[in-house]
Amino acid sequence: MTAVGVAGQSAEQDFSSRLLESSQTLSYDPMTEIDWDGPLPEDQYGLSPEWSTLYGTPLWDELTEQQRITLTRHEVCSMMSTGIWFEMILQQMILRDQYVKNPANSEFQFALTEIADECRHSIMFARICQKLEVPAYLPSKLVVELARGFKTLATGEVAYGGTLVAEEVLDVVQRDFMRDDRVLDVVQTSSKIHVVEESRHMKFAREEIKEHIKGKSKIQRHFSAALIAVVAYVIVSSLVSPKVYDSIGMNRKRAMDAVANNEHRKSLMRNGCAGLMEFLDEAGLLTRPAIALYKRVHMI
């Protein structure tokens, strides 16, 4: 192996080692960190109201305070259900990527650590939805079936790119939830846990993307960019199920029309995803077709 190869491998291992050390010193157990037996104050939101899909629209002004609270609780559980769905996908992709690799490498060990984190996060989200007595809001059947193919076939920068966009989008919203005293304590605490631990996962995904994209041809890079953008489009579109509006007795079509024209929410998404778009651009994964898809879900 050349000196450059050894140096590159060493740098990659050092990076993974630092992530491992971080996971050992700054990790949380949701079962003990969250007050699962605590009350759910009737006047607290499920998420920061500014992140509600209807906030900033005339429909929001029509809702009673209790309807707003109920809606946000269903919205946050919809996000958590979507999070569980995609965390299960990324666990399978990471396992496949690390299959029969050297277990002595810190990269391998951190990958398994990430899977363990994601398992805890999924259980945490599931218990919160159970506590709030909100039904599971799952993606459409078409999306679920298409995802079966994606999780089976996606590799390299596409797998880690899909992982990154999912984690970044949740990170954007949860950074507001964790600091907002208007939000239920279980959501604040779970958001803090997820933000802290997912920050390592996002760093890992970014490094993996940079490693896998090296040496790829223009055609391969454009293909990967398009696939990652498709994943982002599906995830963002699936975050809040149209069924949540049934919880407050609202006409679903009228609510969806309001969401489609909600400039406030579009602005929040664009601002929150600026860092992600900058990274994808630097990695050569922000092509014209990809940009068109990101624009459709207001990530750019």
DSSP-derived secondary structure for 154-173: --HHHHHHHHHHHHHHHHHH
pLDDT at 10: 67
For the stretch 40-85, pLDDT in tens is 999 999 999 999 999 999 999 999 999 999 999 999 999 999 999 9
Q: What are phi and psi of 211, to 5 degrees?
A: -70, -45
What are the residue ranges spanned by the domains of the chain? Answer: 42-49+57-297
Stretch 166-176: mean pLDDT: 93
Q: Are 70 and 104 in contact (CB under 8 A)?
A: no
Taken as a whole, the chain contains a residue count of: 300
Stretch 225-252: mean pLDDT: 95
Stretch 205-225: mean pLDDT: 94
pLDDT of 105 > 70? The answer is yes
Fold of 42-49+57-297: Ribonucleotide Reductase, subunit A (1.10.620)
- d(C-alpha 98, C-alpha 241), whole Å: 33
Comparing 7-21, 41-55, 59-73, 229-243, the range with the smallest average pLDDT is: 7-21
- pLDDT range class, residue 9, cuts 50, 70, 90: low
pTM of the predicted model, to two decimals? 0.91
pLDDT at 1: 42
- Look up residue 77 and give its two tokens: 């559980």
pLDDT of 300 > 80? The answer is yes
Q: What are phi and psi of 283, to 5 degrees?
A: -85, 0
Mean pLDDT in the chain? 92
Angstrom distances, CA of residue 124 to CA of 37, 218, 247, 250:
14, 41, 23, 29
pLDDT of 147 > 50? The answer is yes
Q: What are phi and psi of 183, to 5 degrees?
A: -95, 145
Stretch 234-241: mean pLDDT: 95
pLDDT of 242 > 70? The answer is yes
Q: For the chain, percent helix, then strand, then coil, each to nearest 5?
A: 75, 0, 25
- pLDDT range class, residue 15, cuts 50, 70, 90: confident
pLDDT of 7 > 60? The answer is no
